[in-house]
């Protein structure tokens, strides 16, 4: 199983990737540095990868899931409800391919302010 490191300011998270085409395409594009945006408790940013929705695509995701949003070529990190969520669910703007999972505690992501840069690299 391939692993990645996610760095935002002093925050460092580890994640494991699934065995999927989306995960492979993203892994092959690393390292990636980008300016993040947030949408509720979701971090997202555009990456130089494009894949279509696949069999992993979900409308509701789990805390810690890594998703790829084909409509914006965005890498997404989910750590809580978004503006589209109903109740406590975690709902992306639209379907995302699930390509991995953060194995570190994602609660620290709630402390991020001012949309800093993120770096994703191979572990």
pLDDT digits (tens, 9 = 90+) for 65-100: 999 999 999 999 999 999 999 999 999 999 999 999
Q: Above pLDDT 90, what percent of the chain?
A: 97
Identify the band that residue 113 occupies on the pLDDT scale cut at 50, 70 and 90: confident
7 Cβ contact list (under 8 Å, min separation 6): 13, 118, 119, 120, 121
CA distances from 116 to 9, 70, 72 (A): 7, 23, 19
Domain count, the chain: 1
Domain that holds residue 70: 3-122
The CATH number for 23's domain is: 2.40.100.20
Quote the pLDDT of residue 82: 97
């Amino acid at each position: 199983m391939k692993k990645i490191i996610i760095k935002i300011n002093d925050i460092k998270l580890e994640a494991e990737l699934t065995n999927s085409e989306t995960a492979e395409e993203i892994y092959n594009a690393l390292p990636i540095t980008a300016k993040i945006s947030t949408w509720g408790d979701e971090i997202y940013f555009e990456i130089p990868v494009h894949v279509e929705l696949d069999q992993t695509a979900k409308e509701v995701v789990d805390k810690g899931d890594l998703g790829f949003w084909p409509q914006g070529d965005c890498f997404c990190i989910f750590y809580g409800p978004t503006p589209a969520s109903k109740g406590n669910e975690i709902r992306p703007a639209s379907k995302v391919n699930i390509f991995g999972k953060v194995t570190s505690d994602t609660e620290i992501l709630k402390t991020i302010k001012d949309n800093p840069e993120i770096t994703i690299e191979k572990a």
